[in-house]
Chains A and B, each alone.
Chain A
Amino acid sequence: MRIVIIDDSGLRATVLEEGLREAGYDDIHIVPPRGAFVARLERMAPDVVLMDLGSPSRDTLEEMLTVSRALARPIAMFVDQSDEAMIGAAIDAGVSAYVVDGLRKERVKPVLELAVRRFNAFSRMQTELEEARTALADRKVIDRAKSILMNQRALSEQDAYALLRSTAMNQGKKIAEVAQALITASDLLGGV
């Protein structure tokens, strides 16, 4: 079974491809939705096309499926129209799938389920990455605020942090927010 993944994000496509390979699928191609991707896809004659639901190129792909002779009469969205839970899970995960007409449902279903799991895993990864980035940025801000306090008020690092923390608690704010306010004020006053 030939599976084509249409995706902008190299990382997400890789995550999906790895999963499919582990599950024993080996005829997998990744096509970014740019330029003449529709012509490339037509030449590949895939059995299943997987695509990010959020991709703006879905209309282009569907138009090709409508007029294409190479893919004959495809294409039902999702494997089983009556399986509402499956459809909901796919939309939630952001997966859209196109399947060549005549391909048996039981052959496609595991592919779609796998794609849903991998897309979900990918978005969890993204969220965690985002959180890690925020944490790192917060730490930099707090470090800078601490050094301002240490210089201006001759505090130890520990005391500078304690002061930031108690101010944040008193004001019902995050430490990073207090630190940012301090940096801004210090910049305005021409401080360090």
Chain B
Amino acid sequence: MTTNLRIAFLPLNDVAVLAAARERGFAEEEGLALDLVRTTSWATLRDRLVYGQVQAAHMLAPLAVAVTLGLSQQPAALAAPFKLGVNGNMLVMAKDFAAALAPDPAARLADPLGTAHDFAAAIGLWRRKPIIGVVHRFSSHALMLRYWLASAGIDPDRDVVLRVLPPSLTVEAIHAGEIDGFIAGEPWGSAAIESGRAEAVAIGQRIWQRGVEKVLAFREPWLEENPETTDRLLRALARAAVWCDEPDNREALADILADPRYVGQPSDLILRTLSGTIVPRAGDAAVSCPDFVLFSREATPFPWRSQALWIYSQLVRWNMVEPSAETEARAAAVFRPDVYRRALAGSDLPMPGASMKLEGAVGAPLGVGSRKGDLLLGPDRFFDGRVFDPERIEDYLAGFAR
């Protein structure tokens, strides 16, 4: 018997795993019919999930934590047993702002620390406080942008204006001069570059080499009441993720995503960053960036609790939540490695033995303890070399000026 599942998403490249699960038959093999509900704002996606109009959602990981902590409208306990991707964001700035930075955009991307300091200097030269678009207060993009700006002594709440706007309106807003740049998921950065108005200034993967991004979020009670359906969905998604990461499938994947039912942007634009290349300025040579976005390798979908705690640490850092042991525990519990393990126990995917790890400690590919198969973790450094120890969050936060 087929089980119908409604899952809400936003039009972004990293809906790839869900789209592939539906379009390439992985869901069907598990007896699931996926109804993917295209949504235009994170607020509406959140409401559809919280009020039960969909069973699951393609959600910003920090938003899942924020909803659970009651920071974003109606509080609801959410659970994220599967990550839909790692990395995938790009910061672009209007050409005239970028003119104050290193002239070669490829060199900017390669040196995030130097570029952050150049950015700090450029703020003083700009005609107003720079307005940078972010997709949501509780987005990985906003947290990474804040982290990066702060490394050069920029106070993101004082020295720049962070303006929330939906990814699909960013290109128009930069044309109209309403914003001076934005950080968003693909293909929106590439689209702004292609329009000739903006240049790449930083990419998520060079800020944190393995940055937590979208998760598949459920209402926790639904997840507990439907273990069998959840497991089937996770198995289908795990196979879809393997398919998405296979370089030979990238063109087919870009074609799926180009459809107006998903992203609705040109296939070649979508393919660009999916296949690990960036054109940092219109007409420039492409820069290779093979880890721009990951779907499956290195156990990408595994929801490390330490990553939920990193999000919590940043919410505390930016005064978005009052720190407490209880809040910390609730934030960590949003990520559900136990459900991931249960669902994928019978698969041949490498399964991490631990649920937490140091974040930012791997400099070169590292083999780690795994229940089966070989699990190789890729480099996951933060560009400033800091290491996040989930058991010493206070010490970690004390290390930042703010």
A91 within 8 A of B: yes
Asked whether any CB of chain A lies closer than 8 Å to the CB of B394, the reply is no
Interface: B318 (CB within 8 A): no
Give the nearest-CB partner of A92 in chain B: B53
Query: A36, A53, A56, A63: which contacts B137 (Cβ < 8 A)?
Result: A63
Bound-state CA distance A24–B120 (Å) is 54
- The segment from B88-96, B143-151, B164-172, B370-378 found at the interface with A is B164-172
Q: Which of A15-74 contact B (CB under 8 A)?
A: 35-36, 53-63, 66
CB-contact partner of B47 in A60, A75, A96, under 8 A: A96
Tell whether, in the assembled complex, residue B73 and residue A53 are in contact, meaning their CB atoms are under 8 Å apart. no
Question: Among B35-43, B213-221, B245-253, which stretch is in contact with chain A?
Answer: B35-43
Q: Are B74 and A77 in contact (CB under 8 A)?
A: yes
Taken together as a complex, chains A and B put the C-alpha atoms of A84 and B50 apart, in Å, by 11
User: B136 to chain A: which residues have CB within 8 Å?
Assistant: 59, 63
A66 touches B137 (CB 8 A): yes
Known interface pairs A56-B40, A96-B44; A88-B51 also in contact (CB < 8 Å) = yes
What is the minimal beta-carbon distance from A127 to any residue of chain B, in angstroms? Answer: 19
Decide if A59 touches B165 in the complex (CB within 8 Å): yes
Q: Which residues of B contact A56 (CB under 8 A)?
A: 40-41, 166, 168-169
Q: Which residues of the other chain, B, contact A60 by a CB distance below 8 angstroms?
A: 163-166
A75 and B72 CA atoms in complex are apart in Å by 11
**Which A residue sits closest to B176, measured CB to CB?**
A35
Measured between C-beta atoms, what is the minimum distance from B36 to chain A in Å? 16
- The proximity string for A residues 68-110 relative to B, scoring 1 for CB distances below 8 Å and 0 otherwise, is 0000000111000100100110010000100000000000000
B48 within 8 Å of A (CB atoms): yes
B338 within 8 A of A: no
Chain B residues 25-81 with CB under 8 Å of chain A are 40-44, 47-48, 51, 53, 72-74
CB-CB nearest 5 A-B residue pairs: A63-B164, A56-B166, A58-B43, A56-B40, A58-B41
Measured CB to CB, the residues of B under 8 A from A are: 40-44, 47-48, 51, 53, 72-74, 135-137, 163-166, 168-169, 176, 178
